Structure 1
Amino acid sequence: MANYLPEAIVLNILQRLSLKTLLRCTSVCKSWYSLITSPEFTYLHLNFTADSRNTTPNFLSLRRCIRNSQLYDVYSESESFARETTLEFSFRSINSFFTVVGSCNGLLCLSDDRVYYVHTIILWNPCVKRSIVLPKPNLIYNSYGTFVQSLGFGFDPVSRDYKVFRITYVDCARQHPQVELYKLSTGVWQDLSHLALDYVIYNKSRQAYVNRAIHWIACCKNCYDLIVLFDMYYEVFRSMKLPVGLLNNDNPTNKDLVVYKESLALISWNVSGAEPSFCLWMMKEYGVEETWSKHFSFDSHVFCGGFMSPLWVGRRGEVIVVRQDGRLVSYDHDGVVVKDLGVHDSSYEDCRRSIHVDSYKESLVLLEGAHCFSDAVTCYDLPNLHTNNSDFVDIYGCDYELCFENDCK
């Protein structure tokens, strides 16, 4: 019957189908397989899903470690916080768990660099069970010695390309870092060190991808924090100031960038000071620093000493945090209503730190041209590490945040 329908009508029908149904449709005939696996249809399906986001539920991916196993579950971003499905995770890490760099259009970017760095970066689409292991970057530990790195991951909607961004600082030195950019379309690392980044992005700084740019918290030479962003299309650095209320804050304040209601936002919290507080700042007009506003705040005493770190801020203003006893709880924007989310993890510190929450959506990205799990890092021979457990040394050779902090004193 499809042979008698105009292609535009066929496309209009197919783009409305669920991903599970679309995968079944690839077996109908060769023409449907070619159509559904084409980059054009993948992009069309993503746009249709984005346009209908107000009528379809939002989902979150939640990663945690249990008994040396990394578990990835999908939860609905609703009041019920119901678990929808468990994702098949078949990768092996030489560390206790992967670093989740970011999530974009159904792709998760993972890096095996939490302690021991083995240059393994993966782009993974769990829905279609496809993954790509990136080639080794230009600067690696074996040839350059100790260094620290910051990673970013996002999508360039103009070129319709997925990009992984990597910044490395050698020997904890305050100098211009090496900058590399990987494009999924080319499959190679490009050296962009000529951009001469003048800021230091904090080690393991959480990224926020919004308005086709990756954002990090960084520090300038004068030792004050700011936001550094990398424009995915123009491939240039820019910077933004933090909210005025945080510029002259004498108390040490933790800060993380997040995306809240599709806008750039910043979480600041302090649970140890004389006046512990938790705030969500929102940039109402992107790029206009004067539009930073405190969206909500509450006294961090409501955490009752069990707070460890925030994980996510939901659409309704609920804040998901992991407590020191391993429980996931959410607080409303007044810090009054506390809800146990039913995720009870181990109180062991490494397990608590493994918990990661990010946005999640199903997509067809990587359906064509990528590897199955069995062809990726699951079959790699992981290197042998010769370490003395009684005298543990980070492969980075130093704690960059500590090094930079000492330089600022």
Structure 2
Amino acid sequence: MCTCRVLASLVIDYREGEKQKEPRMEGFGDLPRDLFLEILLRLPVESLMRCKCVCKCWYTLIRNAKFIELHLKYNCNNNVCVLLKRCLLTCLGKKENMLSLVCSNGFSFVNLDVDLSLYKKEPCLQLLGHCDGVICLSNYRDDIVLCNPATRESMVLPQSCLPCSPSIPNLIPQTSALGFGYDAKSHHCKVVRIVSYWEEINENGLPHLSRVEVYSLGTGSWKEINVKVPAHVWYSPCFETYFNGSFHWHAMDDNRNEVILSFHMGNEEFQVIPMPSFLSMYDYSMCRSLLIWNGCISLIIYPGRGIEKSFEICVMKEYGVRKSWTKVLTIGPLTRVEKPLVFWKNDEILMEGTNGQVVSYNLRTQEVKDLPIYGVPKSFATLVYVNSLVSVKGGYQMLAEGDNTGEKILVGEGFSTLDNLPKCFLQYEAKVESPVPS
């Protein structure tokens, strides 16, 4: 019914503004080609999946790489939402993981019908990141899953290529860090994994050595890269963030200075980014969260305990430059708030309440709103998300077009070639704005 209303609304809007007859697309009835494309691009993924069953022509078009790219562009500009991971209590008192999409109004959400059987009862399920509609999930052991919640496709990554232990005996391997992001050089998504090897008797609290491996959706396999890890990652799930082609972790260097460790997905190299000089590393009562705000990395510092909490926001205005860290805002003091989750709609930030409820804080009006979203306290994780038709099965590749504009085209297994796409797509592409930068 919802899809029918969308179609009817678009047809009416088009006819009211129509000034001349448009050429028709063969196989699509009497609809002008621009109108037909407008309708399809505005439909949600769930509706497009049903439209594939209409006829072979529709099936081929919706699976076409160019159409998938245009649909992704449209959603990046018009349908950005928040993906929320939380735990719910069953009637037996057990915890189960749930993925939900928070709608743009913030007062409604949709529970996603995603197969989380691998992680259903994993309390440590981590939501690592998002790339063009594909998310990465992990339990921080050996299980890593790529999933498209909109199409309900998922893929378990193969086991690590690293041996259980290096040539040095009596070392215990442990996954210390995972990251997920897009490599603009090879035009593939990648997963990076840092494995630390610990001595059985450890006196200094640091691993004996670390090794790094990268999984590429282009090759469908892991490879070990010969690179030194310049800092040791701390387990900080509120800190892990993908930005500007790199994944970031909370870490400590060899001199025990608190730093941000980043891994560039294209160059496959690490970089150490210093924390603000005014931040005291040894104040363990203060928590840190790393979020993206207005196109910059933002560090939020707040107390770990207390009925009232103030949240200090610092922004790194020039990426990688310590002196560019600037205190820009202090939120609060607020009551019944546990931690920040994600910046949303430029002037709002979603936060987790102490009672397991999500709240929204407006930076401009300083208004706090309780949202009707609940879960087990301290089980929430979020990321900015865009629905897409991108497939995770067999991987996919994003190729730059030959016109030097930097626009991306998706191609991959199961997709039709661009030669099969109606020519009007090439004319229509200019009407679709470029995607929001990640």
What's the CA shift for 1:131?
0.7
Match of 1:90 among 115, 139, 142: 115
Q: Distance in 2 between matches of 1:338 and 1:10?
A: 41
Aligned length: 348
What's the CA shift for 1:264?
1.6
| Distance verdict in 2 for CA 1:17–1:88, change over 3 Å | closer
What's the CA shift for 1:161?
0.9
Matched, 1:324 2:354: yes
Alignment-derived partner of residue 145 in structure 2? 122
Match of 1:26 among 38, 52, 60: 52
The Cα offsets for residues 159-195 of structure 1, whole Å up to 9 and x where unpaired, read as 3211111111122643441101111111111101x21
Q: Distance in 1 between matches of 2:186 and 2:41?
A: 21
The Cα offsets for residues 296-323 of structure 1, whole Å up to 9 and x where unpaired, read as 11344x22xx443222232344333323
Q: Distance in 2 between matches of 1:97 and 1:240?
A: 27
Match of 1:198 among 230, 249, 262: 230
For the 8 Å contact 1:207–1:216, the answer to whether it is kept is yes
Matched, 1:177 2:214: no
For the 8 Å contact 1:38–1:368, the answer to whether it is kept is no
Alignment-derived partner of residue 238 in structure 1? 271
Alignment-derived partner of residue 36 in structure 1? 62
Q: Distance in 2 between matches of 1:284 and 1:254?
A: 21
Match of 2:291 among 254, 258, 261: 258
What's the CA shift for 1:270?
1.9
| Distance verdict in 2 for CA 1:11–1:283, change over 3 Å | farther
What's the CA shift for 1:124?
0.5
**Which structure: larger Rg?**
2
Matched, 1:159 2:186: yes
For the 8 Å contact 2:245–2:264, the answer to whether it is kept is yes
For the 8 Å contact 2:257–2:281, the answer to whether it is kept is no
Q: Distance in 1 between matches of 2:234 and 2:153?
A: 31
Q: Distance in 1 between matches of 2:68 and 2:242?
A: 20
The Cα offsets for residues 49-85 of structure 1, whole Å up to 9 and x where unpaired, read as 33xx2xx24311222222233222211244xx12242
For the 8 Å contact 1:70–1:89, the answer to whether it is kept is no
Matched, 1:354 2:379: yes
What's the CA shift for 1:259?
1.4
Q: Distance in 1 between matches of 2:26 and 2:393?
A: 23
| Distance verdict in 2 for CA 1:72–1:356, change over 3 Å | same
What's the CA shift for 1:132?
0.8
Alignment-derived partner of residue 398 in structure 2? none
What's the CA shift for 1:201?
1.2
Matched, 1:227 2:260: yes
Matched, 1:309 2:339: yes
Alignment-derived partner of residue 71 in structure 1? 98
The Cα offsets for residues 359-382 of structure 1, whole Å up to 9 and x where unpaired, read as 121001117647xxxxxxxxxxxx
| Distance verdict in 2 for CA 1:63–1:248, change over 3 Å | closer
For the 8 Å contact 1:297–1:333, the answer to whether it is kept is no
Q: Distance in 1 between matches of 2:294 and 2:178?
A: 23
Q: How does 1:330-409 map to 2 (within 5 A)?
A: 330-333=360-363, 336-345=366-375, 351-366=376-391, 369=394
Q: Distance in 1 between matches of 2:138 and 2:393?
A: 23
For the 8 Å contact 2:174–2:196, the answer to whether it is kept is yes
Q: Which runs of 5+ in 2 are unaligned?
A: 1-23, 199-204, 396-438
The alignment yields a C-alpha RMSD, in angstroms, of 3.2
For the 8 Å contact 1:312–1:319, the answer to whether it is kept is yes
SS of the residue aligned with 1:281? Answer: strand
Letter in 1 for 2:258: D
Matched, 1:49 2:75: yes
For the 8 Å contact 2:285–2:305, the answer to whether it is kept is no
Deviates more, 1:94-103 or 1:259-268: 94-103
SS of the residue aligned with 2:229? Answer: coil
What's the CA shift for 1:145?
4.0
Deviates more, 1:25-34 or 1:262-271: 25-34
Letter in 2 for 1:125: N
Letter in 1 for 2:391: L
Between the aligned residues of both structures, percent identity stands at: 28
Matched, 1:136 2:168: no
The Cα offsets for residues 25-71 of structure 1, whole Å up to 9 and x where unpaired, read as 43344454344334444334323433xx2xx2431122222223322
The structure whose residues are more often strand, as a share, is 2
Alignment-derived partner of residue 382 in structure 1? none
Q: Distance in 1 between matches of 2:352 and 2:212?
A: 33
SS of the residue aligned with 2:279? Answer: helix
| Distance verdict in 2 for CA 1:121–1:151, change over 3 Å | same
Letter in 2 for 1:20: E
For the 8 Å contact 1:106–1:125, the answer to whether it is kept is yes
Q: Distance in 2 between matches of 1:69 and 1:276?
A: 29
Matched, 1:99 2:88: no
Q: Distance in 2 between matches of 1:204 and 1:108?
A: 19
Q: Which runs of 5+ in 1 are unaligned?
A: 346-350, 371-409
